[in-house]
Chains A and B, each alone.
Chain A
Amino acid sequence: MTVDFRRVIRPVAIGTIALLTEYALLGTQQFANALTLGAIYALIALGYTMVYGIVELINFAHGDIFMVGSFLAMWIMTTVLGLSGPVTNLLNLVGLLSIVMFATMVGMGFIGMFIERFAYRPLRHAPRLAPLITAIGVSFILQNIISSLFGPSPVNVPQIVPLDKFAFMGGKIGYLNVFMVVLAVVLMIALQLFVGRTRLGRAMRSTAQDREAAELMGVDINQTIAITFFIAAALAGAGGVIQGLYFGSIKFDLGFFVGLKAFTAAVLGGIGNTTGAAIGGFIIAFVEVYATVLGYTQWSEVAVFTVLILVLVFRPSGLLGQQLGERA
């Protein structure tokens, strides 16, 4: 349980140097943009990677879970809390944001568990392709439910956080950006602690490595997998809240594009590895922002997937992925 500092120092040093370089290259404004975008991608990528790690299923519905999360947050803000514009009282704002965040995460968590229970669990012993196709089906179901409930056109999300910015090192950063990045980082650290230091986290890791052996040691596989889906969907829900607040409008097919990039991030970082997914999310966001800064906005996706291909050519299992052959 003791932390080995030598093992921590190197990645922290590399990360700090990378971030400082990015900052020097991009400048305050774009740096903040990239970090915020990266936070969203990372939160979703974590869900892809956790689910893959434990049931070896690429959950194609995960992007749509994120989309449903953004709609759920919008619905809570407008219909339940009756908000429509910026909330200027700081105390109120913090309270409201916490409520929205908490309710969305818990709500999405249960939706994730529900999907696992009725769409994936019955197919757990079926050939690998069956749950994959089911995931695509779930993705369509979610998209169509949302588009029939809220309509196929973009829906506005109330901007409850004032768009104030503060000057920082020659640029301007929105309070919103700071809030989002801090939130994402806190959630990721919480996830790492949960997986690394608790009984249920150990159950998750043991299930991911050898499901049958874990079961024979007394781990309840169904419960563990359900918890994994809960956490994955809750993180996607948090990403959905951020998406709505940051971009101001959401659409029923949002999950496809963002989900694809988050999935790329998970693969880039090494699918099955949570740290890798977080790093992958930020890398993809930075690549995208670079493309925009250099004036090639239309090419940003090409750049993202070029990076993915290059990484996979030299490290087929992703940046932090375990070499194949680990699971026999």
Chain B
Amino acid sequence: MLIIDTELCIGCGVCESNCPFGAITVVGSWAVVGDGCTLCGTCVEACDPGAISIEGADKDAPLDLASWSGVWVYGEFRRGALAPVSLELLGIGRKLADTRNVPLSAVLIGSETGEAARQLIAYGADTVYRVDDPALAHFTDEAYGAIMTSLIRQHKPEIVLAGATAIGRSFIPGVATTLGAGLTADCTQLAIREEDGALLQTRPAFGGNIMATIVCPNSRPQMSTVRPKVMQALAFDGERQGEIIEVKPSPEQLATRVRVIESVVSEQDNVNIQEADILVAGGRGLDNAQGFTLMRELAASLGGAVAATRAAVDAGWISYPHQVGQTGKTVAPKLYIACGISGAVQHIAGMQSAETIVAINRDKDATIFDVADFGLVGDLFEIVPKILRQIEERRKS
């Protein structure tokens, strides 16, 4: 709770103008806190007389934080392969582990995982805990969560990273809740704080309009889900040595109340747009579902996948898994080509982390051009086929 010391408060209003949430107003000669207060602490720092404090902020740290050691990465394994984001996590995980001077381990859960454990070592892991059982062929929150929770309790890593994928974002929150651990979703930067070795987790909030850095001062492990495509995987090193530890799941861990009836891979398109390096996205300017044929052609030529705006999805031109933006997916491909997309903030929130953005739109004032690195003003039905021809010609020569 925010406490204003009315003896010290001079009613200067600095807190009022600094409050990001408009929760403080000066009434009469001192500041009054309203319901919008989130205890972010901005006013505490801003207050020169030191009249504002947060009750309960200085909790004594539990003494056994030091007994938690090591960095862990969840190696996501599905349909016979590791998710690329898991390898990216080993890249950043290696850095964090080296800074902390601790080992890097990976947890591999699944069935018929084959060479995946060796791969995790080749990409940077020192140790792999392999939990391979036919009952784990399909992902379930309960079994995967119970196994992860039990391994963490047993080995006490200080940091646990998982991909911010459908799977990671589903079962990791359950694990963190059970462990009483702090969890930060969708991190885009991770670093170690020099003073105390704490994990600094940076993530976008409010649809990417704001970045926030978060720490977990009094709980362990420090857990993060990390967005695909923002971290760098290390080069594959087949010579790297590491240890594979086989873990046998208990029958209780394998018992689930949710039953998987079938697991369906999407029909015509690659819908895993978060893992694609190149996305060709279409919006209202495509006019109809036929317009996406052109998008698919360009995507196929570039080896990319097709994305869409909410308007295109709501119009029924393409299915929801392709939707980028606030109520769709957040993507960070190397190249994002926006065709006939005006650039609503909700859409931009989902794609502004792309390395390079190309916008093609008839309207030269479209807001998409504000975030684009390259823009072409004109009819996409004229421009895209010409781009396709250009690419073909260059490949031939």
Question: Do A and B share a complex?
Answer: no
A interface, CB within 8 angstroms of B? none
**Residues of B at under 8 Å CB distance from A?**
none
